Structure 1
Amino acid sequence: MGWQQTALSKKLGLRYPIIQGPFGGGLSSTALAASVANAGGLGSFGAHHLAPAAIVELVSTLRQHTDKPFNINLWVSDHDPGALSMTVEAYQQHLRQMMPLYQRLDIEPPSQPDSFSHRFEEQVQAVLDARPPVFSFVYGIPSADIIEQCKRRDIFLLGTATTVKEALALQDAGVDAVVATGFEAGGHRVSFIDEAETVLTGTISLIPQVVDALHIPVIAAGGIADARGIAAALVLGAQGVQIGTAFLACNESATIAAHKALLRSGKVHNTVLSRRMTGRLARFIPNHALRELEALPQLPFPLQSWFYSPIKRASAARDDAEYFSLYASQSVSLIKHHQAAALLRDLVAGVDRIYSSM
């Protein structure tokens, strides 16, 4: 079918212009990325939590599982203002405020580290060394030197925007395509020019505006979970779509079984935006953890994430959805697939049927 071969899919050598959204915080998996890639889409891996050496190893592992294009994703802005360090006194004060939560879950509070997160400058060097087919990034724009080095290595560049202004900045910087993401999306709101809370444009409104403003391919993201969403995005002028939550619900993803079951239950009809788990605005299914964190002082990213991480690890070990970070898009009730390849196959067949009926 004609829709399958767009400017984006041709440039990347994909059978279908469908990208699996990258999940940070350990929710991505090589099995999921490779499965999507081998089925004809672009598999992705969110690597912002990984050390540089682990990124190099990750790319090598993915190459062992697929000979198709895949994508590695990083966060350009790796910390919020004032969040690179914390005094011992401030650390202990926040620890005391979090202690009732740790004690309720019978977990050890986190020790104060020398560094709260990996630095983007070191991680991106690992990406340059490993040379994945595609490098995508959120929360900003890499330096002109990094973009030039990627181009010299023939690495396809995907930048992510939540506004036309951000999309134009990415195009001016030299990216190959822009992911335009509406506020319906699950996970983090990756705004980098204006405050995320002030940038809540929906996908249906955002996509045609970005398409009209740019001369490079635009990828639609945010609340797309079935063939109808794909067809709508393509009609609006997108050259591809990025789908996150529907792939997160698949068995191959690295999230916990209880999270996957919730995503596929068809019973979730409410999601919320909150900074309480990581310090940056993200969309979740509300649970006990979110409600309890709302009552506590909030720290900037990655400090907030550091204090929440032991809770996330403990809930993962127990398969406890009430204290886990339940990322989900507003279209979560549409999700039903258990296998990534089956999801991709059904998406393609569904869009084929829609186009055949036009």
Structure 2
Amino acid sequence: MSLSALPSAYPLIQAPMAGAQDSQMAIAVCRAGGLGSLAAALLSPPQLAAELAAIQAATDAPFNVNFFAHQMLEPTPQQMRRWHDFLQPYFDRFGVDAAAMDAGGLRQPFGDAQLAIVQQYRPAVVSFHFGLPAAAQVQALKDIGTCIIASATSVAEAQWLAERGVDAVIAQGSEAGGHRALFLADDVASQTGTLALLPQIVDAVPLPVIAAGGIADVRGIRAALQLGATAVQIGTAYLLCDESRISPLHRAAINAAMQAPQQAQTAITNLFSGKPARGLVNTLMRDGGYMHADAAPFPYAAAAVNAIRAKAEKQGDSGFTPWWCGQNPSGCRAVSATELTQDLCRAFQAA
């Protein structure tokens, strides 16, 4: 996949953002010439099929579908007890019955059910977070002509992906919002920024490399291209768009960060899901010290936090809501995703 062969008019990919978008954002980006993405990690198989049908009914442009490739390793009773012990003051404060919590709605990995749906709808691109699924499933995607891309947070991860046949690598710098894509290591303290990581991966793998993390405008796009990127992936800039599905509280937090950037702070935390993810700092993150040793494994940590969040939000308290956001929200605009994409794509012409 070369720059000219990216299956969209411009080498710009809208980052898939589970919980923050649906098919409408992907459609809007596709209409502007970018590669719109659908985040599928929180979708059931019927929901996934419905969203893919909606995209194909609205546009004949190529699009990307993103899946997680994590292992669902159930926590031990001891792990859950330690996690609930940490959260007990919040259970008490908001009246949450830990024994009656709904454990549904957790992020699911790519599996045979998802593969069957992808084989039916045949999207141009499928992307993966947290490594890759089974080799047979990767081959099945290749057999239908799908371009496979996956995220790497280190040179070692990029090489691992290249050895397993991906068509392009996303170099995800530490600035990126949402979940870190790391899968060969767990230590976020060693994570590298985009402009340091990108040229190292470009030099290390014989594949197109897509830059992600901290890119919000023409300056970031130019820098990424100068450092060897084939394309850029942008997520945070889309969070205030008309098609974004984030809550009013989340929108308000991002607006506040834009209006007072000297006071805005994001951090990487495992408190909301069990895996490291970057978001705007709030009560739970401050109380828990961002990375907590007793957080339940991903994605099981989310069930208890979601129960607290639901109760807290009803009381007007957003301190337990994950406000995913990258380190550079300066590009966020309350316009349609089509307009934002058109403006960003003009940057490629000027780059």
Distance 1:51 1:163, change over 3 A: same
Deviation at 1:11? 3.6
Q: Is the 8 A contact 1:250 1:260 kept in 2?
A: no
> Identity percentage over the alignment?
34
Q: What is the distance in 2 between the residues matched to 1:137 and 1:34?
A: 20
| 2:224 is the alignment partner of 1:233 | yes
Q: Deviations over 1:138-163 (max 9, x none)?
A: 10122221121111111111111111
Q: What is the distance in 2 between the residues matched to 1:251 and 1:343?
A: 10
Q: SS where residue 219 of structure 1 aligns?
A: strand
Deviation at 1:259? 1.4
Listed as ranges, the matches of 1:77-116 within 5 Å are: 77-79=70-72, 83-87=73-77, 91=80, 94-95=83-84, 97-105=86-94, 109=98, 110-111=100-101, 113=103
| 2:154 is the alignment partner of 1:154 | no
Q: Deviations over 1:62-99 (max 9, x none)?
A: 212221111111111143xxx41544x86567546534
Deviation at 1:60? 1.3
Q: Deviations over 1:313-347 (max 9, x none)?
A: 45666775433101111112443343212211222
Q: Is the 8 A contact 2:216 2:330 kept in 1?
A: no
Comparing 223-232 with 101-110, which one deviates more in the overlay?
101-110
| 2:213 is the alignment partner of 1:222 | yes
Amino acid at match of 1:23: M
- Structure 1 unaligned regions, length at least 5: 1-5
Q: Is the 8 A contact 2:173 2:193 kept in 1?
A: yes
How many aligned residue pairs are there? 343
Q: What is the distance in 1 between the residues matched to 2:40 and 2:314?
A: 21
Distance 1:163 1:344, change over 3 A: same
Comparing 188-197 with 308-317, which one deviates more in the overlay?
308-317
**What residue in structure 1 maps to residue 11 of structure 2?**
17
Amino acid at match of 2:225: L
What is the root-mean-square deviation of aligned Cα atoms in Å? 2.7
Q: Is the 8 A contact 1:35 1:43 kept in 2?
A: yes
Q: What is the distance in 1 between the residues matched to 2:58 and 2:93?
A: 41
Q: Deviations over 1:175-204 (max 9, x none)?
A: 111111111111111111122424411111
**What residue in structure 2 maps to residue 49 of structure 1?**
42
Q: What is the distance in 2 between the residues matched to 1:146 and 1:317?
A: 42
Q: What is the distance in 2 between the residues matched to 1:48 and 1:318?
A: 28
Q: What is the distance in 2 between the residues matched to 1:37 and 1:316?
A: 34
Q: What is the distance in 2 between the residues matched to 1:130 and 1:114?
A: 26
Deviation at 1:51? 2.0
Q: Is the 8 A contact 2:75 2:296 kept in 1?
A: no
Q: Is the 8 A contact 1:157 1:175 kept in 2?
A: yes
- Structure 2 unaligned regions, length at least 5: none
**What residue in structure 1 maps to residue 283 of structure 2?**
288
Distance 1:97 1:246, change over 3 A: same
Comparing 118-127 with 31-40, which one deviates more in the overlay?
118-127
Q: 2:338 aligns with which of 337, 341, 346?
A: 341
Q: Is the 8 A contact 2:271 2:284 kept in 1?
A: no
Distance 1:45 1:102, change over 3 A: farther
Q: SS where residue 228 of structure 2 aligns?
A: coil
Q: TM-score with structure 2 length normalisation?
A: 0.88
Deviation at 1:123? 4.7
| 2:69 is the alignment partner of 1:76 | yes
Q: Is the 8 A contact 1:186 1:282 kept in 2?
A: yes
Q: Is the 8 A contact 1:91 1:112 kept in 2?
A: no
Q: TM-score with structure 1 length normalisation?
A: 0.86
**What residue in structure 2 maps to residue 256 of structure 1?**
247
Q: Is the 8 A contact 1:55 1:123 kept in 2?
A: no
Deviation at 1:61? 1.8
| 2:181 is the alignment partner of 1:186 | no
Q: Deviations over 1:219-240 (max 9, x none)?
A: 0001111111011101111010
Amino acid at match of 2:39: G
**What residue in structure 2 maps to residue 128 of structure 1?**
119
Q: SS where residue 333 of structure 2 aligns?
A: coil
Amino acid at match of 1:75: F
Amino acid at match of 1:225: A
Q: What is the distance in 1 between the residues matched to 2:170 and 2:61?
A: 20
Amino acid at match of 2:12: I
Q: What is the distance in 2 between the residues matched to 1:275 and 1:93?
A: 15
Distance 1:313 1:10, change over 3 A: farther
Q: Is the 8 A contact 1:158 1:179 kept in 2?
A: yes
Deviation at 1:209? 1.2
**What residue in structure 2 maps to residue 244 of structure 1?**
235
